[in-house]
Amino acid sequence: MKKELSFVMSIIPILALIIAAGSSIFIWKAGMHIPLIIGVIVAAVIAIICGWSWREVEKMMVNGVSRALPAVFILLIIGIIVGTWIASGVIPTMIYYGLSIIEPSLFVPLVALITGIVSITLGSSFTSIATVGLAFMAIGEGLGFAPGLVAGAVISGAYFGDKLSPFSDTTNIAPAMAETDLFSHIKHMLWDTIPAFVISIVLYWFVGNSAVAHHTADTGEIDLIIKGLESVFVIHPLLLLMPVFTIFLMMKRIPAIPALTIVALLGAVLAVLVQGVSVSSIVQVMTSGFSVDSGVATVDSLLNRGGLMSMLATIGLLVIATSLGGVLEETGSFEVLTRRMIENVRSTGTLISTTILSTFVVAFASGAQFLAIILPARTFVKTYKEKGIDTKNLSRCVEAAGTVGINLVPWSVPVIFAVSILGVSPGEFIPYAFFAFLVPLINIIFGFTGWTITKKNYSDESEIKTKGEMSL
């Protein structure tokens, strides 16, 4: 007979994961796959102790992983895009012109701003990181900026755009789970997103100028990179139309997987037609990534990447994380934890901060954005309605922590993806991901001050629903 998990039993898998993750990151230096497997094992053992059979636990894991399949396909295609966009000369052209025209004193804030604009139009933080973000990393290295600083600016811009874009999957999921509408949700998010991003831009300007003051870019190194690019690729401004075409596809609301597939294949066609790459070579690039020996170490280290195979480690992490999330959700572990948190809610401020805290708990436990948004939103929606607080406040909170704040979790899927694309460790860029710190903090401030917290009377809605049911 199955019994309900106690608070202690519910939190044990999360504590096991956090302890194993801390040990792996700071002592073993072995990544997050084994800590997540440890979390799955502990969660499965507790489920079996509480009365579930192994077959039931296995089904929970399968159900959890099944939710991640669209993301798996997107990650595979993004790996192909990175490879074909490098082989076709699109990313090298972006790097070439960026090194030629960008002013160092404005570089870091421009990274966040331009990545943000691209992310809003694409509706995808992953795609913007893998394209313009990768180009900015190369430009930043050429200009002498710390990789962690540039990566932090890329991530801030990418998730600013992802958060506000009506094309983003997380931006659509949050209001659906919180029972509000998309455009009310986006409009309400302007209150936390715009101030957080403006403050981030200012901080990047100060930090960037400080870096310029202490380290002048080596023009010889920049010239070497430019010559290295010219020696390997045909550089032409028309290649910049590729990112423009990608934005056009997204704005036409073509579904993500078909749109990204088209972009990947067009990159392959350009590689053959413009760069003279053979068909067999481009298939190898799509599979294993781009590889070249230009004679310039910086160019080689920046551009030898991409391919479907490069995403397998990230996909493995996603599969394990969502299987853990499936067990924790279906055994009621998350519900027990959030229920304990809800019991301590006494004011609007504690409700907002508890919502954000519970979202971070799911983020730390699973590392998955969708779970970090869906589970707290579903759990708290009734409480918000009972307290007369518009559920668009709930959708804003779960986006703040689940879409953006999750980038503070070193083993989360977004962070591991950024590491695989940008080549920078979490410890290097998380301190510079200013936007990820500011958005949850601003929401907590709003909760305790009452600023921007919208009220709504849901009793009329309940009465209408009751009358409708009686009439049936």
Give 105-154 pLDDT, tens digit per residue: 889 999 999 999 888 877 789 888 988 898 899 889 888 899 999 999 99
Helices 104-122 & 241-251 angle (0-180, nearest 10)? 40
Q: Say whether pLDDT at 411 is over 60.
A: yes
Report field, pTM of the whole predicted structure over 0.85 = no
- Does the pLDDT at position 462 exceed 60? no
Indicate the burial class of 126 (C-beta count within 10 angstroms; 0-12, 13-18, 19 or more): buried
Q: Spell out the residues 6+ positions from residue 190 whose beta carbon is closer than 8 angstroms to its own.
A: 164
More confident position, 445 or 22? 445
Q: What digits encode the pLDDT tens for the residues 42-69? A: 999 999 999 999 999 999 999 988 877 8
Tokens of 71: 């993301």
Note the pLDDT of residue 461. Answer: 58
C-alpha–C-alpha distance, residues 290 and 427, integer Å = 27
Task: Reduce the DSSP state of residue 307 to 3 states and report it.
Answer: coil
pLDDT at res. 214: 63
Instruction: Pick the closest to residue 314 from 96, 472, 147, 77 (CA basis).
Output: 77
Q: Is the dihedral of CA 89, 92, 98, 101 positive or negative?
A: negative
- For the stretch 228-255, pLDDT in tens is 899 899 999 999 899 888 878 867 778 7
List the structure tokens of 92.
């090298």
Across the range 222-227, mean pLDDT stands at: 83
pLDDT for position 213: 60
